[in-house]
Structure 1
Amino acid sequence: MKRNRKVKILATLGPASSEEEMIQKLHEAGADLFRINMSHASHDMMRTLIQRIRNVEQRSGRPIGILADLQGPKLRVGKFAAGKVDLVPGQTFTLDNKDEPGDNTRVFLPHPEILEAVQPGHRLLIDDGKLHLRADKTDGKSIVCTVVAGTKISDRKGVSLPDTLLGVGALTEKDRADLDAVLETDEVDWVALSFIQRPEDLSEVRKVSRGRVGLMSKIEKPQAIERIDEIIELSDALMVARGDLGVEMPLEAVPGLQKQLIRACRRAGKPVVVATQMLESMISAPVPTRAEVSDVATAVFEGADAIMLSAESASGEYPVEAVTTMASIASTVERDPHYPGIIYAQRTPPEATGADAISLAAHQIAETLQLSAIVCYTSSGTTGLRAARERPQVPVLALSPVIQTARRLSVVWGLHSVVTSDATDLDDMVNRACRIVAAEGFGKPGDRVIISAGVPLGTPGATNMLRIAYIGSDGLSGV
């Protein structure tokens, strides 16, 4: 299955898309990998979805990535005697450790870590920012606040803390149980970590997973922005999670942050996913708004590796149409005459390594000679990531003997991953590359390709060779 676009599409599965037939339709419509939201999926449902995705993968003959998204800490207030109360801006309202129903003066906050960490002057945003409180006095047991904006609060509404660094990690007990279940399947390629605040939040998951899954940090808190370079360095990928990011930071700051995060990931050679409300109106409508189309297009123009659908594909009325629309927007943007120039202008210089120099040379040679494809042999995925970092306009085929590597690379910009055994010698390497390019529809007899690999063959991380080859007259062998 050949995609006519570089950016990848990540589709969330849910009630509207959990059946195997629908997963098949979403994949055919353009979904390159699938997200399982552990906030809503039980372990049994997760295993069922994984099996259905793998059945679709087997029929399609294409590696499909799976992302398990851990819920992270959900901070919520307690309940009210009346279910909800009305407040007045300027009044005093207290959050405390008394496990009793609340009223219009106080409410129980079942999170001692918040009571201990919040300082006077810090903001507390309730119910996605609909209620804005300012902390005036704190003693570790209660937070006396002034209502700055908003007039209502009800049972179990979420609490966001844009000014407060909590002293707890990003993993809850539920997350640990979910992570264990994910790792037991040995079929999940990425784990997304919610509410990352600091680089140290990654250490526990890294220790437990031991490289069996890629770690994708969801950036949705101001504290993560402050240490973003360290977080990128320790992550395998990033997700720009604009929902909570837009609650804890001014909405008008989110577009600029999105650009900064995409460019920082491109510099580091790490995949980056843009998520949340990309085609929100398609939850209930068969076509998106003009603003949503522009939003998706902006992420594509910026060079994001992947764009994500959430409720649009998980619980919306038009999941297939949402994927089809997103794929159409991406393909159209990538054909825009301004697209290559914008992508090229954001390139970063290669690092002073042999592998980076080889990837840069492959890109320049392929575009100068108008070759049909760049073919890179990659066991660990590193060579594929380096090839994608160059953002070449020529198709890039990543050939790997490791199915897990091919699946993990399904989130990476421009890579068409193919599972194939290791080449036995240089002639086999060239012949195999040319056969696959022809078979996958990226070249025809007489076309030329450029191949990057490591010598000795099969040595991970040793990319040190380039070879230009013709696709033979039979369309199968390189000569």
Structure 2
Amino acid sequence: MRRSRNAKIIATLGPASSTPQAIEGLFIAGADVFRLNFSHGSHADHQERYNAIRALEKERGRPIGVLADLQGPKLRVGNFADGKIRLENGDAFRFDLSSELGTQERVSLPHPEVFAALTVGTDLLLDDGRLRMRVEHHGSDFAEMRVLVGGDLSNHKGVNVPNVILPISPLTDKDKLDLDFAVDMGADWIALSFVQRPSDVLEARKLINRKVGNRVRLLSKLEKPSAIEHLAEIIDLSDAVMVARGDLGVECPAETVPILQKKIVKAGRCAGKPVVVATQMLDSMVHAPTPTRAEASDVATAVYDGADAVMLSGETAAGDYPIDAVTMMHRIIVQVEKDDHYRLITDASRSLPNATTRDAISAAARQVAHTLGAACIITYTASGSTTLRAARERPEQPIVSLTPNIEVARQMALVWGAHCVLGPEVRNVGEMLERAAKAVQKDGFAGPGDSIVITAGVPFGCSGTTNLLRVAEIDDTGEGV
């Protein structure tokens, strides 16, 4: 099976999509990577879904990526005696560490690290930004607030502290347990939530490397303004990033989110790191069989921007039309990529290659493939590095990522344009060319008489050594080059 598009689709699994039949339906509709959201569900639930994905992968003969998304340090208020209260503009309100049930005047905020970071004038947002309060007086265990934007406040509603770097780890005790479980289970990507600074990424990286080395890749979710201030460093330390527009839209003015999305996508592409755009992309399809025109335009904009992947959350995890949502996202991507303006925008936004051998080879491969009208570009890769550099160039031709490593094949399922093929290790260039010719013909990328462009790193098996560019023509028999 080959996709007729370059941008990838990530589908979140949940109650609406947990059975093997549902997961297969999502895959056939267009899902390339499945997200397991550790904010919900038990380890047993996630293991069952993972097993179904791997059984489907074996049946279909196509590598499928699995993204384990950690919950992160969620800040929430405590419980109220009556379940909820109503706050009006101008009301005084207090947060403290007391475990007593909340009243009209106060509620527990069991996060001493928040009080430690507050200053007079700091704003707190509650319930996804629906309420806003400002600090008037504070101490190590309390904060006296003034309500700026009122509304209903009920048990366990979330708290955001925009423009403040909180002295907390991105990994809670729950996250560390979930991380160990996800890595042992076999997840290909770990998504790190609420990244504030580069050191957060390093902390997660150390935990992963200590357990499995570099077998699992790390995706940083950008949902805090402080992360944008350290964007280049966070991208450099991550294997991929996500524009997590939910909390980002709460903590940043709504009108700045589209601009930040373009900035993040451009920075990720320049660095050769995959970028995922997520949150409420087809949100109305949770309960409707078709999206709004604005949602269709939102998905299209992410594709025009150059995102590697777009993600569905509640639409596939808990919606009434999970397969329809994936089908619609697939159709939007295909339509955009057929548009002449898409290629013009993609070519115009291409960054100059870095002064490295691997970038020079990858840029040359794109140019050679364009000039010759080659059927495809083949990247033979042991680590994924060659495929990532080829994808950075956004060539017109499909990228066939040929690798002997199943983990790499699954990881590359997230990468723009990469069609992943698992194959045996090769010992020399001639063997590589022969295997490449067979792979592209089997999946319908090329046929007898077609030109193909191949990039690889020699000696084979050494990570990051892209240094070989070959042009070959499949012979008339289709048996070799």
The separation in 2 between residues aligned to 1:453 and 1:149, in whole angstroms, is 58
CA offset at residue 151 of structure 1?
2.6
Residue 200 of structure 2 corresponds to which residue in structure 1?
201
Residue 472 of structure 2 corresponds to which residue in structure 1?
469
CA offset at residue 121 of structure 1?
0.9
Conserved in 2, the CA contact under 8 Å of 1:438 and 1:476?
A: no
The separation in 2 between residues aligned to 1:424 and 1:165, in whole angstroms, is 51
Give the partner amino acid of 2:411.
Answer: R
Residue 329 of structure 2 corresponds to which residue in structure 1?
326
Residue 24 of structure 2 corresponds to which residue in structure 1?
24
**Counterpart mapping for 1:102-181 below 5 A:** 102-181=102-181
The separation in 2 between residues aligned to 1:41 and 1:383, in whole angstroms, is 36
| Unaligned segments of structure 1, at least 5 residues | none
Residue 214 (structure 2) pairs with residue 214 (structure 1): no
| Unaligned segments of structure 2, at least 5 residues | none
Residue 368 of structure 1 corresponds to which residue in structure 2?
371
Give the partner amino acid of 2:334.
Answer: S
Q: What SS class does the counterpart of residue 447 from structure 2 fall into?
A: coil
1:356 to 355, 359, 362: 359
CA offset at residue 425 of structure 1?
2.0
**Counterpart mapping for 1:67-466 below 5 A:** 67-185=67-185, 187-210=186-209, 211-466=214-469
CA offset at residue 274 of structure 1?
0.2
Q: What SS class does the counterpart of residue 338 from structure 1 fall into?
A: helix
CA offset at residue 322 of structure 1?
0.5
The separation in 1 between residues aligned to 2:155 and 2:358, in whole angstroms, is 55
The separation in 1 between residues aligned to 2:131 and 2:461, in whole angstroms, is 58
Q: Which deviations, in whole Å up to 9, do the C-alpha atoms of 1:349-381 show, x marking residues without a partner?
A: 111111110000000000011000111111010
Conserved in 2, the CA contact under 8 Å of 1:379 and 1:402?
A: yes
Q: What SS class does the counterpart of residue 136 from structure 1 fall into?
A: strand
CA offset at residue 29 of structure 1?
0.6
Q: Which deviations, in whole Å up to 9, do the C-alpha atoms of 1:128-160 show, x marking residues without a partner?
A: 111100011111111111100123211111101
Q: Which deviations, in whole Å up to 9, do the C-alpha atoms of 1:36-78 show, x marking residues without a partner?
A: 0001121111111111000000111110000000000111111
CA offset at residue 226 of structure 1?
1.1
CA offset at residue 475 of structure 1?
2.0
Conserved in 1, the CA contact under 8 Å of 2:386 and 2:457?
A: no
CA offset at residue 457 of structure 1?
3.0
Conserved in 2, the CA contact under 8 Å of 1:90 and 1:147?
A: yes
Residue 33 of structure 1 corresponds to which residue in structure 2?
33
The separation in 1 between residues aligned to 2:7 and 2:358, in whole angstroms, is 23
Give the partner amino acid of 1:248.
Answer: E
The separation in 2 between residues aligned to 1:52 and 1:98, in whole angstroms, is 45
CA offset at residue 243 of structure 1?
0.6
Q: Which deviations, in whole Å up to 9, do the C-alpha atoms of 1:75-103 show, x marking residues without a partner?
A: 11111122111222112111112221121
Q: Which deviations, in whole Å up to 9, do the C-alpha atoms of 1:194-225 show, x marking residues without a partner?
A: 11111111122211211231110111111111
Give the partner amino acid of 1:170.
Answer: P
Give the partner amino acid of 1:147.
Answer: V
Q: What SS class does the counterpart of residue 34 from structure 1 fall into?
A: strand
Q: What SS class does the counterpart of residue 340 from structure 2 fall into?
A: coil
The separation in 1 between residues aligned to 2:75 and 2:465, in whole angstroms, is 46
Greater Cα offset, 81-90 or 333-342: 81-90
CA offset at residue 181 of structure 1?
0.8
* TM-score (normalizing by structure 2): 0.98
Give the partner amino acid of 1:298.
Answer: T
Q: What SS class does the counterpart of residue 421 from structure 1 fall into?
A: coil
RMSD over aligned CA atoms reads 0.9
Greater Cα offset, 30-39 or 143-152: 143-152
Q: What SS class does the counterpart of residue 221 from structure 2 fall into?
A: strand
The separation in 1 between residues aligned to 2:464 and 2:328, in whole angstroms, is 38
The separation in 2 between residues aligned to 1:216 and 1:61, in whole angstroms, is 26
Percent identity over the alignment?
53
* TM-score (normalizing by structure 1): 0.98
Give the partner amino acid of 1:39.
Answer: S
Change beyond 3 A, Cα 1:440–1:120:
same
